[in-house]
Structure 1
């Protein structure tokens, strides 16, 4: 690891844990959401990364949705937070147990408004109970239906069935977003070369009804011409 990487890693850890402590002290879910947005802006600004949103008119100004997105990099949640900045949609992220237990992300993840997903558990009732509780409090749910970061040379990897089940159980229409730029490549360039004025393009799709019986992956690919 070169000096630039070390400096950025130290800064990112400092910033993430500083906001994790702020989030722990937050007195409302709205304060949590505001802090998440501030964190996203501060870190991406430090990385000299800007977010360009295509089809902004497709972003609902209010309501509850299951937001789904492709997933290539650790900064994907930050990209989406910024893309939705001018919307009143407040969502809880579905977060893996590994993030809850991480020394880097743990404090932040546990306090940022998330739903714990333990993929090793044989009983998913706790997860679905928490999801229902979040929706009853008028929040949306954000998830990466691929389940983990896509490290293949393909636009997306296979979707897991869980996203569709969440939408059906909670009667949440689906808001698809597609991060067009390979954010992982941009992140590497930002850290290793400190390139200025880097841009990540994100595209907003049309709302998909939770009643739509078309396979979610097929619907998503059609929206963004990924076939």
Structure 2
């Protein structure tokens, strides 16, 4: 592990836990969302990473959605937060139990308005109840339908069925987003060099009706012209 990697890891850990503490003490949902945006912009400023939104005209300015995205990097949620910053769309991330217990992300995840998904639980009623509460309050739900990071050399891996079920149960239109740039490679370059501005392209797709019976993965591939 080189010196630049060590210093960035220390800074990122400090920043993440600092904002985790601030989020814990946030009194309102609005303050919570603003802190999430500030965290993303602060870290990306340090890394000199910019987010470029393609098809920005397709990005709704308000409303509630099931936002879905491909997932290759640990900074993917921050990329999406940055893309939405000038809209009134506010949402809650579906987060795995492992993130809640993580030394690095734990405090932040628990306090950032996330929805706990415990795949080992035999009773998912509390999970679906929380989703319903979020949707009923007019907020969006953000999810990576692949279920975990795609570490293969493919645009996306197989989608789990859960995302479509969430959309149906909560009558949420689906907002598809595709992170075109390999964010993992950009992150590595930002950490190891940090001497120039780097850009991550993120593409907005057409809204999918929650009643659409086409498999979600098929719809997503067609919208973004992804090879199977």
TM-score of the aligned structures, taking structure 2 as reference length = 0.98
Distance in 2 between residues matched to 1:141 and 1:20, nearest whole Å: 20
Aligned counterpart, 2:56: 56
Q: CA deviation at 1:194?
A: 2.0
Segments of 4+ in structure 1 off by > 6 A?
none
Aligned counterpart, 1:10: 10
TM-score of the aligned structures, taking structure 1 as reference length = 0.99
Distance in 1 between residues matched to 2:160 and 2:135, nearest whole Å: 21
Q: Does 1:101 align with 2:101?
A: yes
**Alignment size in residue pairs:** 227
Unaligned ranges ≥5, structure 2: none
Aligned counterpart, 1:170: 170
Distance in 1 between residues matched to 2:45 and 2:119, nearest whole Å: 33
Distance in 2 between residues matched to 1:56 and 1:31, nearest whole Å: 25
Q: CA deviation at 1:103?
A: 1.1
Distance in 1 between residues matched to 2:30 and 2:214, nearest whole Å: 34
Which secondary structure does the structure 2 equivalent of 1:20 belong to?
Answer: helix
Distance in 1 between residues matched to 2:104 and 2:150, nearest whole Å: 21
Counterparts of 1:83-162 in structure 2, within 5 Å, are 83-162=83-162
Q: CA deviation at 1:217?
A: 0.2
Aligned counterpart, 2:203: 203
Distance in 1 between residues matched to 2:127 and 2:136, nearest whole Å: 14
Counterparts of 1:73-92 in structure 2, within 5 Å, are 73-92=73-92
Cα gap change, 1:195 to 1:119, in 2 (>3 Å): farther
Distance in 1 between residues matched to 2:28 and 2:117, nearest whole Å: 22
Distance in 2 between residues matched to 1:190 and 1:46, nearest whole Å: 9
Q: CA deviation at 1:195?
A: 4.1
Which secondary structure does the structure 1 equivalent of 2:203 belong to?
Answer: strand
Unaligned ranges ≥5, structure 1: none
Distance in 2 between residues matched to 1:219 and 1:140, nearest whole Å: 20
